[in-house]
Each structure stands twice: as C-alpha cells, then as structure tokens.
Amino acid sequence: MSSSSTHERTRTGMSKTALKQDFLDNLFYIQGRFREVATPHDLYMAAAFTTRDRLLKRWVNSAQVFKTSHARTVCYLSAEYLLGPHLACNLVNLGITDTARQAGAELGLNFDAIVEEEEEPGLGNGGLGRLAACFMESLSTCQVPAIGYGIRYEFGIFDQAIEDGWQVEKTDNWLRNGNPWEIPRPKICFPVGYGGHTESYRDEHGQMRLRWQPAFMINGMAYDTPILGYGTENVNLLRLWKAEASESFNFQAFNTGDYYGAVYSKIEAETISKVLYPNDEPEIGKELRLKQQYFFVSCSMQDMIRLHLNTVGPLESFAEKFVVQLNDTHPALAVVELMRLLLDDHGLNWEQAWDITRHTFCYTNHTLLPEALETWSVALFERLLPRHLDLIYEINRRFLDEVRMRFLGDEARVWRMSLIAEGGERRVRMANLAVVGSQAVNGVAELHSALVKATLFKDFAELWPERFHNVTNGVTPRRFMVVANPRLSRLITQTCGHDAWIRDLERLRELETHQDDAGLHADWRAVKLAAKQDLATWMQQATGIHLDPASLFDVQAKRFHEYKRQHLNILHIIRCYQRIKQGESQNLVPRAFIFGGKAAPGYFMAKLMIKLINAVAEVVNNDPQVNGWMRVAFLPNFNVKNGQRLYPAADLSEQISLAGKEASGTGNMKFSMNGALTIGTLDGANVEIREAVGAENFFLFGLTAEAALQQQLTGYRPWEYYQSDIELKSDIDLINSGLFSHGDTQLFRPLTDNLVNHDPFMVLADYRAYLECQQTVSAAYQDPERWTRMSLLNVARIGRFSSDRAIREYAEHIWKVTPNPIEAA
Ligand code: Z2T
C-alpha cells in the first residue's frame, strides 16, 4: 500500500476525498450528528477536528525529533496571547485552504460561514498579547523549536458592546462551546505554593539550608495547543496553565468534616486562572494578579526543569538547552523562581544557580510610560511569596555591591538602581529585577530602544552597555494578508508570478517594477473597493450605519488611551463638520471616519472618548447637510477577528500618538501591509515604516519626541493654543456647547478641561499640524493614480515588518538558536 493511501486511513490525508470523508466522520463520531441536522457550530467543530488531525501528525513528529536531538529551545513566557481564530490560519499553513473549500462545496457547505463561526480566544489586551501570538506563528515558520507558556484564562478580554454610546463590558465565555484546538494534559501538572514562611534545616550532608513552607498549594494543569508554521513540517507548542485545587488539600478539609471549606478552597484555587485583567498599560497592583503571575511562571519553570532532566540530564547545562524570553515584566518572577528551584529543590549553590539563571533569561520592554511600570509592595510580596522576597534581597545585595564597586561613592545611583524602591511604601521594581536577571534586554522599535537606554534604563545601560538591543516588532503576513485579504494576496501572487512572498516578505519589493502599470492600478483599486464594500455591509448590520465605499475610509483601531490621542482625530472630525456647515467644502473629500478599540473598564477618560465619538457620530450621521461628505462609525468589539475585516478596507491608517509614547505599535504595520497609507507622528515603528516606504508615501506631522520633551521641560501651556487658534477654540467650544450631548454642557467637561488645562499628551500642540496634514491627505486622494501608486509602494516596501524578520533577529542576536527543520514523517 502506498504511503498516501495509508494516510487516507489515518485521518491525515490531504486530498479532497480524504477531507470530505474525515469531515463527515468527525461530524458523526465527535459531534454525534449527521449532515442533515448539524448546526453551524457542529459543522465548525467537524472542520476544526478535521484540520487538527492533520496538525497532530506533524506535531507528534516535531516533538519526537526535538526530544531526541536535544534541540536548543526558546521558551516564550507571556501573561497574554491574543490568538485570534485558528481554523483559517491553520488551513493556510497546511496549504489546504482551496482543497478544503472545494471539499466543503461538494458537501453543499458554505466554507466562509463555517470559518466565521469560530469564537476567538482573546487571551490578551492588545499589542503585547497579539505580538506573542505572531511570534509563536513565526517561530514555527522559521523552524525554531519553541514552547510558549501562559495562562489558560477561562474568561479572556471582555466583549465590548456599545449602549447609548457608552462602552459596556460583557464577559467573554469563550470556552462555553468547547475548544477543539487544545489538548488537556492531566498528567502534566505542578504544585504551586503561596504564603507561609521560610525555615532552615540541615540537609543530608549536614549543610544548613533554607526551604519554603507554603500555607497553601494549588495545581497547574497543562493545556496544549499546536502552532503550525507556514509551509513547514515544524509544529511548536503553546502550553497554557489552568489552576486547580490540589487533591491532598481537599482531603484534609474533608477529614476534619469541613465539606464546605473543602469545596470553597477548590473554587478559590480555580479563581487564579479565571479571568484576564483587562488593563493594558496602567498597572493596578491587585493581589490576584501577582498570584496569576507567580502561578504560570512557577508551572513553566518546573516544566522546563522536568523536560531538561528527562532529556539532557544535569541542570548545569540548563541555559544551553533553554533560553527564556520574558514578554515584559509580567513573568519577571521567573528569575527568582528558577533560583529557588535550583537552590532549594536541586541543591545547587548560589554561584552555580545565579550563573545558570543569568544566562537563561532575556527581557523585552514594551513601554516607557511610568504608570505602566510594574512594582509590587514588599508587604504583599512578603505575605504571598516570602521565600522569593528573601531571594530578591540577596540578589539585590550582591548586585548593589557590584554597582558600588563600579561607581564609588555614588549612593544616588545605588538608590535608583535598587530592586527595592525606598522612601514611602517599599516596593519591588520588576523592571530592575528583569534587567539584572537577564543576559539581553530589548526594546520593540529603534526609537523606543534608544529611549530605553537614554531614559528608563540609563543607569543600567552605563553599567552593562552590551546587554541592550533593539528588535523592531513585526506581524505575521499569513494572518494579516493571506487570511484577512485573499483578494490582495491573489493579486500580488499574480503580479509577481509566485507566492514566495508569503514566507519571504521582502520579495514584495518585486511589486515596485509594476508601480506604473495602469492595469495593476485598476485591479489594485478594485481589490480595495471590494474590501470596503465588505466592511460597509458588515457595519450596516452591526451598527446600522451606512458607509459609502466610494469615500475615503479613515481608520483608527487600537486600545483607547489618551497617549494614542483618539481625541485629536475627533477634533479633526469636528473641524470637517464645521467647515461643511459653513459651506467650505472645497478641499474636502468624502470620508468615512471609522474607530475601533476597547477601553480599560476603570479608565474613565478613555470611556469618555468612546462616548464622544458615538455622540459626534449621532449628530453627523443624522445631518443631511453633511452626509454626502462624512460619516462617523464606531466598530464595536475590536478584536482579532474584526481587525481582519478592518485592515483590508482602510485607505488611511491613523497612527497619531504623541512622539515618544508608543513603544512600537503593530497596527501601523497591519494597515500598511494591506495598502493603507499612514498619517502619523515620528513615534514607535512609524519612524521605520516611513523610512522603508519612503517619506513621500507617508503623511507625517507633529512634534518629534525630542521637541515634545523639550516643550514639556520648559513649560507647556495648552491654553495658549486654545486661545490663539480660533478654529481649535471653536471645536472645543462646540463639544462644550452640548450639541453632541442633547444639551448637556457638562458631559464632556472632564475631557475638554483636561485638554485645555493639562493636556499631558500635547493634543493641542499638534492640532494645527494634524489639520494641515489631513489637507494633504485629501489632496492626494483626489488623484487616484497617485494614491494607488503610493498604496502599492507601501505594500512593496513593508517586507521588513514581517514577524519572521523579527524572529530571525531574536534567534541570531539574542537567543543564539539556529533553525531546526523537521522532515516529513
Ligand atoms: C501592550 O499591549 C503594550 C505595552 C505594554 O506595556 C502593555 C501592553 Cl498590554 C506594559 C504594547 C505597546 O503599547 C505597543 O506600542 C507595542 O507595539 C506592543 O505592546 C507590542 O510590543
């Protein structure tokens, strides 16, 4: 029997016939349904299992090869993974999208409707979590052995509804209908302790040692999701931990007759992985959050040690087998946990343990905003993790000795660099811990990395200059081009004559040779128009708002935050409105202003910005005098799935943060890849995108990071802008007039007062430059040939922003790992 017919029997055949047969089998044996009575969800589950069967074959094979070859492995530690729907991406990466579509058609099924049925795992807030998901996909595509570790939150990021213009949060019960992509591993389970005290004892060699006696224990159980790469046999592993009560603990309670207490302790244990904290940047310092962090870090480090002992052997070589990347400081406790495991459980001495630890970890910083830097009160630490606090003190003592030796007499420096912030409530500085415990520290865009060295970690960069790196972020073109925008992908493949660009995104540059091809221009515009029609249809049913696909789609989609300046965008909208009302529509083009994004539930100002957008939308969309010129729409519940509808349809991408505040941004890359032009400041990765696509193909405005800082140092007075710019004054006054709030003149006061009196993100300083830049956007849009050429060149030159490139840079400069291609089994 040939091997391909063997595969037919083992549920891994790639032919249309095999897919059809296995789909019906899965529908019957897993969902217990036949074709005629199957619900859309049954059909989705059958399709998911049919795809998963094909993944598993490759996964088992990869795992076996990595195990026997002792492959050096990257462990990515992240509290968030914003995965997005799996099915469409897995089909693309398996190379069977077309086959599956045909198989579906022959069974009389609507392929797109089945794909649409998937509820996405939203286990992240925004950029940081989505980056982790892109990196997992690119690690597999680049054939780097990797394990992603994180938390299997039962409730991910809330679903956003808009009621009366306000954001309302609904719980995200994503596991309700089952998750076909994960495999529970009940035997991969580790105990995690909390509380209690440290005690000393004499070990078998008569040595005095310390150990931790926790007050209570819970278990972490592994759930594995295979992550396939594009066009490779490599499959990596995403291992997420679920918190469970430890059995032995419950029995104790049962024996004392405390049945209620036993059940309650089970519930209490399970709360640890119950819900994702919905705050993006500002930290809130909740005890449960610290418990979550320690929980997943402890399980992950125990798992790595188990794997090492099972394969390689002695722990001395741990840092050769594993390199651990810390995705921001959320998992920084891993540094201390590894020390504890090596010292207390495995009997190493301090020098050995510290040497291993220091060579294991690398740390990525994702923000400079001071309010986002994690610190934990020493008192809380002491109560929850007493042994870890002891270890932090000892790490700090040795580290500060090193600082004193290097910088004799500079006690102010010692004070700044200490892992413990003194003066006021004593707090543990997680960022300092991450830097001290890592061999490499990186920022996420060139400007950000430069600022990290010059400001946040200035003292550390002086002590250890060789430790600091830049790796500019990237995004995966498989999800954000091939899956999100099949029309554009087909056109590119047709034009270039190959689809090698999907794995080698720099090859998009071949489009440049066609930049003046009139036929291509027409096709390019048709592709964009079709995407805009799709979005308009979707928006109509989701919000009832009508968008004209012929208008310029001007999109800002990202978390709501004052530093991202959605209110600057609103001021421009209000200016357009007033100009049209005053009969000055000469230089305008019809625009659809589209917003998407969630606000942290406790972030009042961000929620007020959402309300203001919806309030302005209500007035604008119901005013026939301006309707031919403008519409405003808020796309509810911006998540990965809705993002995939938005990126292909955008003409203009709004990247308008105050320079120096957005570490990188990744939406900027996703829009650009789909042919949107950017209006943006010199912030984060915008700087590099502009360099790549050419300054003439990018709408730049605003203060530089340096100028912004300078102006704030010498005293920034927003009210002077308010008083001297009559259009600005009239826009703000219009908000306060109550026009957008049914006569309520107070509703938006917190926002307008803040702008006029404080304006921490310099909206008023950049207002005039932004308006002028928007004029040049309108002028460019009026020349379709020119606009199309600019759009095409954006796509042609965006190759550098593939997450494959980012992963290759990490692999070479930070992790020192080489690809490990897996042969077909
Ligand atoms: C986040 O999404 C980002 C930074 C954070 O700092 C936290 C979260 Cl949840 C602690 C974002 C940055 O704001 C963005 O500029 C960057 O592109 C993204 O991380 C990925 O690096």
ipTM of the complex: 0.98
**456 and 497 part of one domain:** no
**420-421/427-429 β-pairing:** antiparallel
Ligand 1 midpoint to CA 321 (Å): 29
Min mean pLDDT across 283-287, 309-313, 637-641 is at 283-287
**613 and 729 part of one domain:** yes
Mean pLDDT of 793-822: 97
| Best residue among 125, 276, 279, 281 to mutate for probing ligand 1, ranked by most atoms within 8 Å of CB | 281
Ligand 1 midpoint to CA 746 (Å): 33
Gap between the Cα atoms of 676 and 654, Å rounded: 10
- 6 pLDDT band, cuts 50/70/90, is very low
Query: What's the pLDDT score for residue 8?
Result: 46
Residues with a CB atom less than 6 Å from ligand 1: 125-128, 131, 280-281, 328, 366-367, 372, 444, 473, 662-666, 684
Res 426 pLDDT > 90: yes
Res 335 pLDDT > 80: yes
Tokens of 602: 């406790």
Ligand 1 midpoint to CA 128 (Å): 4
Residue 106 lies in a domain: yes
Mean pLDDT of 431-441: 98
Res 587 pLDDT > 90: no
- 4 pLDDT band, cuts 50/70/90, is very low
Considering the chain, what percentage of its residues have pLDDT values greater than 70?
97
Ligand 1 midpoint to CA 227 (Å): 23
Q: Whose CA is nearest to atom 1 of ligand 1?
A: 128
Q: Which long-range contacts (CB under 8 A, 24 or more apart) does 41-48 make?
A: 41/117, 41/177, 43/109, 43/114, 43/117, 44/87, 44/114, 44/115, 44/117, 44/118, 45/178, 45/180, 47/23, 47/87, 47/100, 47/104, 47/114, 47/115, 48/86, 48/87, 48/118, 48/180, 48/181
Nearest residue to 432 via CA among 470, 405, 384, 399: 399
Ligand 1 midpoint to CA 463 (Å): 26
Q: Which atom of ligand 1 is nearest to the CA of 663?
A: 15
Q: Which atom of ligand 1 is nearest to the CA of 329?
A: 10
- 32 pLDDT band, cuts 50/70/90, is very high
**403 and 524 part of one domain:** no
**756-790 confidence digits (pLDDT tens):** 999 999 999 999 999 999 999 999 999 999 999 99
Gap between the Cα atoms of 749 and 116, Å rounded: 41
Residue 822 lies in a domain: no
Nearest residue to 620 via CA among 611, 610, 633, 637: 633
**398 and 512 part of one domain:** no
Res 9 pLDDT > 70: no
Nearest residue to 611 via CA among 720, 705, 752: 752
Mean pLDDT of 657-667: 98
Query: What's the pLDDT score for residue 824?
Result: 85
Among residues 11, 130, 387, 670, the one annotated as catalytic is 670
- 261 pLDDT band, cuts 50/70/90, is confident
Res 167 pLDDT > 50: yes
**696-729 confidence digits (pLDDT tens):** 999 999 999 999 999 999 999 999 999 999 999 9
Nearest residue to 359 via CA among 308, 320, 391: 320
Gap between the Cα atoms of 554 and 550, Å rounded: 12
Query: CB-based contacts of 679: which residues, under 8 Å, 6+ apart?
Result: 652, 653, 654, 655, 656, 699, 701, 770, 773, 774, 777
Catalytic residue list contains 681: no
**514-568 confidence digits (pLDDT tens):** 999 999 999 999 999 999 999 999 999 999 999 999 999 999 999 999 999 999 9
Q: Which residue type sits at 303?
A: D
- 263 pLDDT band, cuts 50/70/90, is confident
Mean pLDDT of 723-747: 98
Gap between the Cα atoms of 268 and 524, Å rounded: 56
Query: What's the pLDDT score for residue 558?
Result: 98
Catalytic residue list contains 346: no
Ligand 1 midpoint to CA 153 (Å): 19
- 434 pLDDT band, cuts 50/70/90, is very high
Res 372 pLDDT > 90: no
Query: What's the pLDDT score for residue 771?
Result: 98
| Edge-to-edge strand list for the sheet holding 699-700 | 630-635, 591-596, 552-557, 652-655, 677-680, 699-700
Mean pLDDT of all residues in the chain?
95
Ligand 1 midpoint to CA 558 (Å): 11
Residue 725 lies in a domain: yes
| Best residue among 284, 364, 365, 366 to mutate for probing ligand 1, ranked by most atoms within 8 Å of CB | 366
Give the DSSP per-residue string, 476-533. Answer: -HIIIIIIT-HHHHHHHHHHHT-SGGGT-GGGGGGGGGGTT-HHHHHHHHHHHHHHHH
Gap between the Cα atoms of 794 and 689, Å rounded: 9
SS (H, E, C) 510-521: HHHHHCCCHHHH
Query: What's the pLDDT score for residue 250?
Result: 57
**460-494 confidence digits (pLDDT tens):** 999 999 999 999 999 999 999 999 999 999 999 99
Q: Which bin fits 476, alpha (ψ -120 to 50), beta or left (φ > 0)?
A: beta
Nearest residue to 428 via CA among 366, 384, 362, 365: 384
Range of the domain at 76: 72-84+124-472+809-815
Ligand 1 midpoint to CA 663 (Å): 7
Which helix (H) or strand (E) is 169 found in, with range?
A: strand 166-170
Query: CB-based contacts of 760: which residues, under 8 Å, 6+ apart?
Result: 562
End-to-end CA distance of the chain: 16
Catalytic residue list contains 565: no
Residue 678 lies in a domain: yes
**56 and 141 part of one domain:** no
Catalytic residue list contains 813: no
Residue 616 lies in a domain: yes
- 5 pLDDT band, cuts 50/70/90, is very low
Instruction: Pick the more confident residue, 48 or 65.
Output: 48
Q: Which atom of ligand 1 is nearest to the CA of 80?
A: 9
**460 and 491 part of one domain:** no
Catalytic residue list contains 670: yes
- 282 pLDDT band, cuts 50/70/90, is low
Q: Whose CA is nearest to atom 17 of ligand 1?
A: 665
| Best residue among 78, 82, 125, 128 to mutate for probing ligand 1, ranked by most atoms within 8 Å of CB | 128
Q: How far is CA 534 from CA 155, 429, 491, in A?
A: 30, 48, 18
Min mean pLDDT across 56-70, 95-109, 213-227, 797-811 is at 56-70
Ligand 1 midpoint to CA 281 (Å): 7
Residue 478 lies in a domain: no
Phi first, then psi, for residue 87 (nearest 5°) are -55, -55
| Best residue among 276, 280, 669, 688 to mutate for probing ligand 1, ranked by most atoms within 8 Å of CB | 280
**95 and 183 part of one domain:** no
Query: What's the pLDDT score for residue 248?
Result: 61
Ligand 1 midpoint to CA 403 (Å): 30
**106 and 161 part of one domain:** no
Q: Which bin fits 362, alpha (ψ -120 to 50), beta or left (φ > 0)?
A: beta
CATH number at residue 487: 3.40.50.2000
The DSSP letter of residue 175 is: T
Q: Which atom of ligand 1 is nearest to the CA of 666?
A: 17
Q: Whose CA is nearest to atom 19 of ligand 1?
A: 128
Catalytic residue list contains 666: yes
- 10 pLDDT band, cuts 50/70/90, is low
Among residues 366, 388, 567, 789, the one annotated as catalytic is 366
**419 and 441 part of one domain:** yes
Which is it for the CA torsion 194, 196, 197, 198, positive or negative? negative
**185 and 141 part of one domain:** yes
Query: What's the pLDDT score for residue 2?
Result: 38
Mean pLDDT of 70-88: 97
Q: Which atom of ligand 1 is nearest to the CA of 364?
A: 21
Query: What's the pLDDT score for residue 3?
Result: 41
Q: Which atom of ligand 1 is nearest to the CA of 372?
A: 10
Among residues 11, 72, 130, 558, the one annotated as catalytic is 558
Res 199 pLDDT > 70: yes
**92-119 confidence digits (pLDDT tens):** 999 999 999 999 999 999 999 999 999 9
Q: Whose CA is nearest to atom 3 of ligand 1?
A: 128
Q: Which atom of ligand 1 is nearest to the CA of 131?
A: 20
The DSSP letter of residue 332 is: T
Query: What's the pLDDT score for residue 7?
Result: 43
Residue 477 lies in a domain: no
Query: What's the pLDDT score for residue 113?
Result: 97
Prediction pTM value? 0.97
Among residues 427, 467, 559, 800, the one annotated as catalytic is 559
Query: What's the pLDDT score for residue 257?
Result: 74
**99 and 78 part of one domain:** no
CA torsion, ordered 448, 453, 456, 459, to nearest 10 deg: 180
Res 76 pLDDT > 70: yes
For residue 265, how many C-alpha atoms fall within 13 Å in the half-sphere facing its CB? 19
Q: Which atom of ligand 1 is nearest to the CA of 281?
A: 7
Mean pLDDT of 221-225: 98
Residue 824 lies in a domain: no
3-state secondary structure of 153: coil
**441 and 509 part of one domain:** no
Ligand 1 midpoint to CA 222 (Å): 26
**197-202/235-245 β-pairing:** unpaired
Among residues 130, 239, 564, 567, the one annotated as catalytic is 564
Total domain count, the chain: 3
Query: CB-based contacts of 327: which residues, under 8 Å, 6+ apart?
Result: 76, 77, 78, 79, 80, 128, 131, 132, 364, 366
Res 264 pLDDT > 90: no
Query: What's the pLDDT score for residue 253?
Result: 60
Query: What's the pLDDT score for residue 825?
Result: 77
